Structure 1
Amino acid sequence: MIIDCHCHAGRGDGLTGPWDTRAPLKHYLLRAKAAGIRRTVLFAAFHSDYATANKEVAQIVNGQPERFYGFAFVHAARDQGRVHKLVEMAVMKYGFSGIKIHRHDAPISREVCDAARMFALPVLYDVAGDVSVCELLAQEYPDVNFIIPHLGSFADDWRAQLALIDHLVRHANIYTDTAGVRRFDLLEQAVRRAGAHKILFGSDGPWLHPGVELAKIKALHLPLQQEGLVLGMNLYNLIHPVRKQWSFVLSG
């Protein structure tokens, strides 16, 4: 099963660009279906109130639970003091499986990491090139899994991407996704040095074409077992214990 671990959905309210205006799924879903992508992790577009944004994403996810997983978007600074509440709502009411945070909003905080630890959630944290924080995250929260998207830099900062590969190699709880990675040689190097078990397929939909992003993985010509890890099993392995634990609690 091919799982896209990185896709935005719903409406933002910033109106400064697509990323905080609207993330419509109509064309994404057609493209994903044509590419053979069967499941997708959804989280909000940038928003001034992530409680509102997460609720909208939950409506989408729970409308097609066989198609989508949900991650809760939080703002480390603006949501200070209520991160636990937001994450608890996302897990216990919406059935979400992870946390999304972006350094564009604010750097990650202990409050976010503590919530991830409490609910056994992976954190997809866009470090926006500041990959040195991975050293601290790995040391302080070795029991929390962190997915650093774009190989560390959507801005194609090859220095940051090279540095992230070192973190992938050295730290068991640091992962990355392939969304928007343009330097194919660095993608090859990440798989070769860190191993396919540390790489997750992501598209950064709906703004990037999921079929185009998927083609990069196919172009790696990995052995089938390794390709399967990248295309879905790695993400599944990160969220399955979470979903199993909390589904049992909710059903009980």
Structure 2
Amino acid sequence: MITDFHTHVDEAEAFGWIDPPEKILGLLDEAGIERAVIMTYTDLPGLNPGALEYIVGAANQYPDRLIPFLRVNPNHPRVMPELLERALAAGVRGLKVHPTTTLAHPAAEPTLEVLRLAARSGVPVLFHCGDDPYTTPQTLELAAQQVPDCNIVLGHMGGYFHVTDAIEAAIRQPNLYLETSAMPYPEMIRQAVDQVGADRVIFGSDGPGCNPRLELAKITSIGLPTEQERLVLGGNAERLLGGTAA
């Protein structure tokens, strides 16, 4: 089973984001991808107070295909414990944090408390990891060091200019995972598998902004051994999400 660990479903008309679940499902079908993690473009608490209900509702429409993550703004520490408890009770399976949109430093106390809450709840945290402020691998490694029992996924595995840094951070820090979406160098995925291990590299597409079929080809074109490819394309995601695949 192929699981896409990074896609978006949202209908925030004020921002021009009209991506209902059917849009990503069509792209997944074209690519032959069975399941996907979904998240909104907006952060909670934030401009869209119904984001939790929306993402859970979208997943409930297609329970065999879509897995809800809650995108959170750590800058509301008094709200966060109740929000996360409500999200987990509603069926959310992980969290997304985008430090650039929230301006919440990953290694500052509000974000660290979110990571501790996630660790206690047994759910992973997907960070935007790239070239923009507060998202470089070096910065996210500081957070991973302080909450070593939280499984932290580096979305885009460093973006365009920090891919080597992301691999090196994951070598040093065993709770860091590398997610492949929108990172333009397929050969670096092989390097990550060789240096970090196939069990900590995870396929993601960042669809619908990026085409899942093309993102999937980055994995299938580099000639990984069958077992390593199986882990990258779904086994690792299922394990982090609480499934039985290894």
Corresponding residue for residue 29 of structure 2: 33
Q: Which residue of 1 aligns with 2:240?
A: 238
Indicate the larger mover: 42-51 or 226-235.
42-51
Question: Which of 132, 136, 140 lines up with 1:134 in the alignment?
Answer: 140
Alignment-derived partner of residue 66 in structure 1? 64
Q: TM-score, normalised by structure 2?
A: 0.88
Paired residue for 2:196? 194
Alignment partner of 2:154 out of 148, 156, 162: 148
Supply the AA of the counterpart residue of 1:63.
Q
- Displacement after TM superposition at 1:103 (Å): 1.2
Deviation at 1:117, TM superposition (A): 2.0
Give the counterpart of 1:42 among 38, 42, 48: 38
1:100-115 aligned within 5 A = 100-104=96-100, 105-106=102-103, 107-108=105-106, 109-115=111-117
1:189-224 superposed Cα distances (whole Å, 9 cap, x missing partner): 112211211111101011111111101110121111
Gaps of 5+ in 2: none
Matched residue count: 232
Amino acid of the structure 2 residue aligned with 1:113? L
Taking every aligned residue pair, what percent have the same amino acid on both sides?
A: 31
Q: Using a 3 Å threshold, how does the CA distance of structure 1 residues 67 and 45 change in structure 2: closer, same or farther? A: same
CA distance in 2, matches of 1:132, 1:199: 18
Determine the C-alpha separation between the residues in 2 that align with 1:140 and 1:241: 26
Matched with 2:85 is 88
1:3/1:231 contact within 8 Å kept: yes
Look up the match of 1:7: 7
One-letter amino acid of the counterpart of residue 229, structure 2? E
Contact kept, 8 Å, 2:171 with 2:196, in 1: the verdict is: yes
Shift of 1:23: 2.5
Cα gap change, 1:164 to 1:13, in 2 (>3 Å)? same
Distance 1:72 1:228, change over 3 A: same
5+ long unaligned stretches in structure 1: 243-252
Secondary structure of 2:137's counterpart equals: coil
**Partner Cα distance (1:152, 1:139) in 2:** 18
Root-mean-square deviation over aligned CA pairs: 1.9
